[in-house]
Structure 1
Amino acid sequence: MAASVELRLTLWICFVFILGFSSVAALIEGLYCGTQSCYDVLGVSRESSKAEIGRAYRQLARKYHPDRYQPGETGDTRDTAQQKFMLVATAYETLKDEELRKDYDYMLDHPEEYYSHYYTYYRRRLAPKVDVRIVILVTICAISLFQYYSWWSSYTEAINYLMTVPKYRIQAAELAKQQGLLNRTKEKGKNRRSKEEIREEEEQIIRDIIKTKIDIKGGYQKPNVSDILLCKIILFPYHLCTFVAWHCSWFYRFTVRGEEYGDEERLYIIRKNMKMSQAQFDSLDSGLIETFLKQQLWLKDNYEVYREQQEEEMKMKMATDSRWKRYRRWMRSEGPGRITFADD
């Protein structure tokens, strides 16, 4: 009889211990309200509504807020009252948000998922408040606008420079006269304009001629909307498909079927051998390009011979150039590596 009583007592103690351990394990130090229940901190139940939680928080905030602290009113010191206020604020921040409250209730109901609760808690705390996709889109748009503005500034600067070069001004004025833009009859009466107005109109006509007739290459060329970053990203699938289709067509035509290269394909191979961009190659003189075709530089052996000839010509030119000779003398006497005494 006594043994059965002791067995029941032992089982009861174990049952109470397990329940107490589960309730404590459900509250993790460093997460939410720590080892205290956020519901107990605010004095509400898990079934309480959002309005009831807000009402309980305001009552406790007025009681423990550091600005309303009165010594002896609550029996707490200023430090303990501030700690309680921080705990009340943490409990309210946890329970007022529906998603955060669901995570907290799940932690209370599943205390065995210890590491999962840590991950969920810090994922919400460290996650950005703004959608990253929106930030990336705004950044790309800002970069694209800056690109376009910078290119227009460079293009305008190039046009302003060409307006000061007599060679281009004379050619533009001749074209304008041929088109009848500068050969206007003199105005009389009320429609007569001042010399300044006529001069401004002529300058604008010359500027327009330079813009339309002169093809500016390189970093000062006329900006194109399709070249900005945003358009390139949007059109990337199209360009990728075009690139793959072009290479497949090239492989099928000239490798599988063995077709002969046309002038366009030959110039493409020459440009690749010279490691030049399309804009650089287009800026070359048409006579020079014809020379490339006559020398058959799309053939690798011919191009190697041409490259060696160019290198030899460059060496001969540098050997006879007076400026290069002065530079070499300066490098020997005063250039880097010269050992001297300090001038101090």
Structure 2
Amino acid sequence: MDVFFGFLIACECNCVQLKVDNTGSGGGSDPGCYLIGAGEPRAPPPSPPPSTLHLQRGGLMMVSPALRSLSSPPFLFFCCLLLLQLPICRSIYCDEDDCYDLLGVSQSANASEIKKAYYKLSLKHHPDKNPDPESRKLFVKIANAYEILKDEATREQYDYAIAHPEEVFYNTARYYHAYYGHKTDPRAVLVGLLLVVSALQYLNQWTRYTQAVTMVKKTPAYKNRLKALELERSGGVTNKKKGLKQIDKNVEEKLSNELELHIQGAEKPSLWNLIGVQFVLLPYTLGKIKKLPYSWDDACYLTRSCLKITSDAWRNIDESTKSNLVQKRLWVKRNMDSYVAEMRKESKRRR
């Protein structure tokens, strides 16, 4: 349990990075940000780590201070469900009773003694012998205890669960595998698992994205870009009463729709990125990867994947730069190492 709670605490420390493309009005920069030119990007401040937001109407790149993301509510909800299952996991065999006590035998009893004890109790509590409702309930428990202890494999699992009550999830998995594993179609389990995981993945990505967008819209860089865009739309004429300090809500919403937000580390959810969809397309993906030479689209995908560039950011790169990067075959480790070394030398030379 200590390891489990430690894992939860570690998940609280996750963060997303934020980076903003912005030209700004007047070429100025906001107090909490720094500008990067068209050359090799400088390293961001060591703490906190940045997250990336692109506003698709700028030529310079403005990197805002890092934003720490909150833990995803779907993930915490899933963890709470696991914690609620802990008391249930402890009573999966004979509820709150001890299987040996129900049969009136010791843990060292052999199979013959267990069988005799069961037949003796069944004569007393069987519904055909005793119509008492309480006796009927007790007989159900006795029969269940006998089913567990008469089989050597399930008895060994039960003895292990008694000796190691702290291994809740392991004991629960062994129990359900023994009683329901042979009755379950593995294909149905796989499909169900992929659907559940994909749903949780989509919900988690959407929550992270909306949280990041909300936090980004509160930054000075984003607000200044909205003001600059309003000036551009109005031809430089603004409301003198409001000035640039306040933007009408309807205008702000329209302008926000024109600024595409691409947040690295919290991208907008896509069905094509879900685990279930990727699993279904796995044979097709493997077949395409094995084919040589790669098509232009495949080579572009491999190149931007190696450089960790989003598809939208890749589309904004000029064709000559794309062609140059693709020809380097950066998906080959040796070529990628050479490219990184070359970029480092170029960065030092510019300094």
Same-fold status (TM-score > 0.5): no
Q: Which has the higher strand share?
A: 2
Q: Which has the higher helix share?
A: 1
TM-score range relative to shorter protein = 0.3 to 0.5
Structure ID, larger Rg: 1
